[in-house]
């Protein structure tokens, strides 16, 4: 699966607790993304990274922060989890390049906030 590993794959957490999801890639791709997938909304971009320590917000970034200290790792943190953050989270990577660079996705992390 294009060398992308997400951990954990499943997590149940309580409202108000911090949660960190990890995306690890072995492809040395420059760009990394975090999406959430919800029924009726499809996939929506949370944050993305265009290099080590270079990150920016997507369309649904409120309540989330990210960090990328190494090329291979992109962390997504929910500072204080809320029930509205119950979702399936996907990490994606893309190589630097022009029109023909495809995005590759991880297997997803199912997060439940109770």
- Binding region for another protein (CB under 8 A): 1, 4, 31, 33, 40-45, 48, 50, 56, 58, 90, 92, 94, 99-100, 102-108
Residue 14 or 62: the one with the smaller Cβ distance to another protein is 62
Q: Report the C-alpha gap between 42 and 36 in whole angstroms.
A: 8
**Least distance to another protein from the beta carbon of 90, Å?**
6
Residue 58 or 63: the one with the smaller Cβ distance to another protein is 58
| Beta carbons of 36 and 91 less than 8 angstroms apart | no
Cα dihedral 18→42→57→112 (10° resolution): 0
């Amino acid at each position: 699966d294009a060398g992308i590993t997400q951990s954990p794959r499943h997590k149940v957490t309580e409202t108000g607790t911090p949660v960190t999801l990890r995306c690890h890639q072995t492809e040395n791709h420059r760009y990394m993304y975090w999406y959430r997938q919800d029924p009726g909304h499809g996939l929506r971009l949370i944050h993305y990274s265009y290099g080590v320590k270079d990150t920016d917000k997507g369309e649904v970034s409120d309540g989330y922060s990210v960090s990328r200290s190494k090329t291979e790792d992109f962390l997504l943190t929910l500072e204080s989890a809320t029930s509205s953050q119950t979702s399936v989270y996907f990490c994606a990577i893309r190589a630097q390049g022009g029109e023909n660079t495809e995005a590759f996705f991880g297997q997803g992390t199912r997060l439940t906030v109770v």
